[in-house]
Amino acid sequence: MKVVLIGSGSVATHLGLALQTKGVIISQVYSRNALNAKTLADKLNTSFITDISEINKDADIYFYALTDTAFKSLLRKIEMPEGIQVHTAGCIPMNEFEGFTSKYGVFYPLQTFSKNKPVDFSQIPICIEASNIEVQQQLLEIGKLISEKTYLVNSEHRKKLHLAAVFACNFTNYMYDVASEILEDSGFLFEIIQPLIAETAEKTKIMNPFEAQTGPAVRMDEKTISRHLIMLNKRTEFKKIYKLLTKGIYNRHKKQ
Amino acid sequence: MKVVLIGSGSVATHLGLALQTKGVIISQVYSRNALNAKTLADKLNTSFITDISEINKDADIYFYALTDTAFKSLLRKIEMPEGIQVHTAGCIPMNEFEGFTSKYGVFYPLQTFSKNKPVDFSQIPICIEASNIEVQQQLLEIGKLISEKTYLVNSEHRKKLHLAAVFACNFTNYMYDVASEILEDSGFLFEIIQPLIAETAEKTKIMNPFEAQTGPAVRMDEKTISRHLIMLNKRTEFKKIYKLLTKGIYNRHKKQ
């Protein structure tokens, strides 16, 4: 199996590495940015291009790991080869490929990637959607090659998944970031809070987040809440967040 | 060493179990709620009381693991024995004990506890504060007995720590909870998002949350953001949260 990676960000990087480990040939990397293209191509010991017209025509699958905007702009320029065209995005509908080719799909790994942090791809849910049953079969095969968890998910459901991921990952990480700013203000190292972060995540393996909820908001400890708001007095943005999330937790638990 | 646990919630439970494992004698459990008191006393194979006047007078340390309100109300009723009096709360100043006794302090484990989930106490940061150096020495000793991480933290700093913990734990868990509601609406099981939650937490061990930030807000992917807001149309509360946190992430990364 031979693939081309279109994009050189963290998804392209980790996907490329995972595929290569399983014996898939990464025949080429494309990126508008020559440095990024070269960096990834070097990692994968393959060649790179920055001009899409030079794309290899003989790959089995072309993975588009691009932002929404870069993807759309590339679609207008690329002359699509014979192989299967798939994008890896949570929030782009599959039918964006419609009219360009008949063999296309989506291969969405539900995970957060940073270039320099290795990931265990075998545990990453891969959400697959395809334009026809043959393509679906091929995407499932390649999905199962690198992960123990493949799912068939249509565009409508995938975008919900992506939305849930924004809360569970991006917003969660921002909560860590706010905590790190508060700690820094008081001279604490971030590490003091790491066991708490680990345990909070760990808990979701044995109970649902509704049951796992702790803290002043769920027990409506108004005294603590008002102390916290006083402490946040100069951080207007954090104060707004504190109030809104406290209200959210309260409403959620009051209802039940 | 002999201790009395005042309170029967999750902190009292896990602290009691950790101390007992290290050979500390739990001589008694007090709670206003007889059922909770009995449940914990049974777990620790000790006796319980629901009337504070029956408290054992000969313990070395009395741990108050109570909510703010319950703590204040107990202070008005209890006749304090000779031993050291410590509370375990993040947000209650140490000097609440002032005037009641001279040997007091704080023993705050920076962790989230749920009764039925075992925890590894050895990795939990214990924040200690004491009314005098002898008490401090004794609290450090008992802290080191159950944890590898003891810190001396005064009331002013401890409340900052507690505030950071609300973001890193309580609000984070609420983000998981919102994600679980979105998933449920679309018929997904929560487990599909667990690898993402685990990795998001895991990342903080090797990079700071600022560097680890991913998602539409940090790359200002307005198209995805507006798609998400449309999806959240009927969930007014989630939409407000989405907007506020997206703005927070954007401002944080724009500044740098």
pLDDT in tens, chain B (256 residues): 999 999 999 999 999 999 999 999 999 999 999 999 999 999 999 999 999 999 999 999 999 999 888 999 999 999 999 999 999 999 999 999 999 999 999 999 999 998 888 999 999 999 999 999 999 999 999 999 999 999 999 999 999 999 999 999 999 999 999 999 999 999 999 999 999 999 999 999 999 999 999 999 998 889 899 999 999 989 999 999 999 999 999 999 986 5
pLDDT score, position A154: 96
Tell me the DSSP string of A145-196.
Answer: HH-S-EEE--HHHHHHHHHHHIIIIIIHHHHHHHHHHHHHHTT--GGGGHHH
Q: Is B150 helix (H, G, I), strand (E, B) or coil?
A: strand
- Superfamily the domain B2-153 falls into: NAD(P)-binding Rossmann-like Domain (3.40.50.720)
Work out the pLDDT band at A256, boundaries 50, 70, 90: low
Contacts of A193 in chain B (CB under 8 A): 110, 161, 164-165, 168
Domain at B159-255, CATH class = mainly alpha
**Does any CB of chain A come closer than 8 Å to the CB of residue B113?**
yes
What is the pTM for the complete model shown?
0.93
So what's the pLDDT on residue A192? 96
The per-residue pLDDT for A219 is 86
| pLDDT given for residue B95 in this prediction | 95
The reply to whether residue B197 touches residue A204, judged by beta carbons under 8 angstroms, is yes
Window 210-249 of B: residues touching A by CB (8 A cutoff) are 210-219, 221, 223-224, 227-228, 231-232, 237-238, 240-242, 244-245, 247-249
User: Which pLDDT belongs to residue A67?
Assistant: 87
Residues 27-56 (B) with a CB less than 8 A from some CB of A: none
Q: Do B176 and A198 touch (CB under 8 A)?
A: no
The residue with tokens 């980790």 is: A14
User: Contact, A39 vs A45, CB < 8 A?
Assistant: no
Domain ranges of chain B: 2-153, 159-255
Contact between chains at B214 and A170 (C-beta distance less than 8 A):
yes
ipTM of the complex: 0.94
Could you tell me how many CB contacts below 8 A there are between chain A and chain B? 321
- What are the CB-based long-range contacts (under 8 Å, 24+) for B232-241? B232/A163, B237/A247, B237/A248, B237/A251, B238/A167, B238/B178, B238/B181, B238/B182, B240/A244, B241/A171, B241/A244, B241/A245, B241/A248, B241/B178
Under 8 Å CB-to-CB from A2, ≥6 apart: which residues? A24, A25, A27, A58, A59, A60
**A253 in reach of chain B (CB within 8 A):** no
| Same topology between domain A2-153 and domain A159-255 | no
- When the pLDDT of each residue in chain A is averaged and rounded to a whole number, the result is 95
Cβ neighbours for A191, distance < 8 A, ≥ 6 positions apart = none
Residues A65-95 have pLDDT tens digits of 998 889 999 999 999 999 999 999 998 999 9
Scanning B127-186 for CB atoms below 8 A from A yields 149, 151, 157, 159-180, 182-183, 185-186
**pLDDT value at position A255?**
63
- The predicted pLDDT at position B80 comes to 94
Averaged pLDDT, A105-121: 93
